[in-house]
Amino acid sequence: FLNWPERQCWAVADGVGGSDHGGEASRLLIETLMGIPEAFSLDHHIRNIRSGLEEANHVLASHTRWPGSAASTIVVLLIHGDQAACLWSGDSRCYLLRDGILYQCTHDHTLRQEKIKSGELTVPEANRMIKGNIITNAIGGNAQIKIDEVRFTLKRGDRFLLCTDGLSNTLSGDMLSKLLGRGNAHECADSVRNALLNYTYSDSATFVVVFLPQEA
């Protein structure tokens, strides 16, 4: 994960379980983001991130650093002034809590979500899929990558959660909304961590919380 408020950049990466070197891939992505130069506009910020991830994808897809496959999901939150952007590949998510309402800023790049998007399956039907969580897009998965993007204007008091699927598959939306509404960012992070301790889950859970101030 990356927590870099000085550069207004936050990220979570999750090695794809089906790849041989998912952990190394996720670390490479975060290290790449840490080398991104300072940006002077949101567009510049986004171009820097995309360029860095494309370079990392080339390294991972070429198989020259590690024998076998190496792929990772990524979700990145960028802020510049009162504007923000979220970029992602895979099923790591970004949530926004605004005025007490929880929004999912990203959509999963999974087989389940593809079936829902195409209309082939309803949400309840897709949720019963045995292998619905298969990743359909990740950094390192293919020579050409797909990085989705959403932009929005910020409001005072906005609260963000970036997380791996180990967390989003464990804690419900109602629970996340409740936890994100608590205290300051440190208290919220502690609450999320403590909530996870009440569940048995087989996947890793990594997350970053980002709180905007309520007042100027």
**Per-residue model confidence (pLDDT) at position 153:** 97
pLDDT reported for residue 179: 96
CA distance 20 to 185: 35
Q: Give the pLDDT band (50/70/90) at residue 161.
A: very high
Helix (H) or strand (E) holding 54: helix 42-62
pLDDT at residue 82, as a whole number: 95
**Which of helix, strand or coil describes residue 3?**
strand
pLDDT at 111: 74
**pLDDT of the residue at 56:** 93
CB atoms under 10 Å from CB of 3, counted, come to 13
Question: pTM of the predicted model, to two decimals?
Answer: 0.91
Distance separating alpha carbons of residues 22 and 97, to the nearest angstrom: 30
| pLDDT attached to residue 18 | 66
Percent of the chain with pLDDT over 70: 91
- At 216 the pLDDT is 59
Residue 215: predicted pLDDT: 74
Of 178, 208, 214, 213, which is closest to residue 86 (Cα–Cα)? Answer: 208
Residue 163 pLDDT greater than 80, yes or no? yes
Confidence class for position 85, pLDDT limits 50, 70, 90: very high
Over the stretch 37-59, which tens digit does the pLDDT of each residue have?
999 999 999 999 999 999 999 98
Bigger pLDDT: 99 or 116? Answer: 99
**Residues 115-151: pLDDT tens digits?**
767 777 777 776 676 666 778 889 997 778 899 999 9
- Tell me what the mean pLDDT of segment 27-46 comes to: 95
What is the pLDDT averaged over residues 6-13?
96
Helices (H) and strands (E) counted in the chain, each on its own, are: 7, 9
**Arithmetic mean of pLDDT over the chain:** 89
- pLDDT beyond 70 at 202: no
